[in-house]
Chains A and B, each alone.
Chain A
């Protein structure tokens, strides 16, 4: 398996523009997570899905952020409009829930998308 795939790897955009980050989880995994990593706040969970259904989006910072998972092999995280404080590395991770619980197994992370909003 190729692992978790994210695109693009780097994104530079101007304030106010729409940004779409993409993720392909490992085939067969039933949980998908979006994280944001910054020096100040570390790694924060934004939202996660189980079997394509959003379970908890309480980590999404504002309504400008939205995420979808239209099928088991694809998810997007969209920021509209983007702001300079959204600059961070965004990670997608997936796992196979053991006994139906996501944290009983290791999470597999993608390489991340480094977003810079000017």
Chain B
């Protein structure tokens, strides 16, 4: 089943407002990553938070991770029209008997920021 599920599926706000997106997952993880995808483009990595971290900041981005609830949130402060994009969380698992692991992406939250 899908590892990461974003909520809400779509979010519409005005410039200057904050945008919060949530991600829930089902199994234990090594880290959780957030990506952005502009229309017609590839995904771009935004931030990575490890399982032993609770909060991380990068510019206007703030990510939290609650491993007990198996959830994460991405907050974009003082949003701009250029933040309009789809945002995906991706969870990383490590398989016990090998060093290999992959990312599992959710279906994303579509954010629209109006001027």
A contact set with B: CB distance below 8 Å: 4, 33, 42-43, 45, 48, 50, 55-56, 91, 93, 97, 99-112
Contacts and interface: CB of A to CB of B under 8 A. Distances in A.
15 contacts: A42-B108, A43-B43, A43-B105, A45-B104, A55-B100, A56-B102, A91-B42, A91-B43, A101-B100, A102-B102, A103-B101, A106-B33, A107-B103, A109-B44, A111-B42
Interface string B62-98: 0000000000000000000000000010001110000
A74 to B, nearest CB: 18
B31 A103 contact: yes
Contacts of B43: 43, 91, 93, 107, 109
B28 to A, nearest CB: 13
Nearest to B108: A42
A48 B108 CA distance: 22
A101 B106 contact: no
B76 to A, nearest CB: 18
Interface of B: 2, 30-31, 33, 35, 41-45, 48, 88, 92-94, 99-108
Contacts of A56: 100, 102
B45 A108 contact: yes
Given A42-B105, A101-B94, A106 B99 contact: no
Contacts of B103: 45, 103, 107
Nearest to A9: B40
A48 B44 CA distance: 19
Given A102-B100, A103-B93, A112 B42 contact: yes
Given A42-B108, A56-B100, A109-B43, 13 more contacts: A48-B102, A50-B100, A55-B100, A91-B42, A100-B99, A101-B99, A102-B100, A103-B93, A103-B102, A104-B30, A107-B43, A107-B103, A109-B42
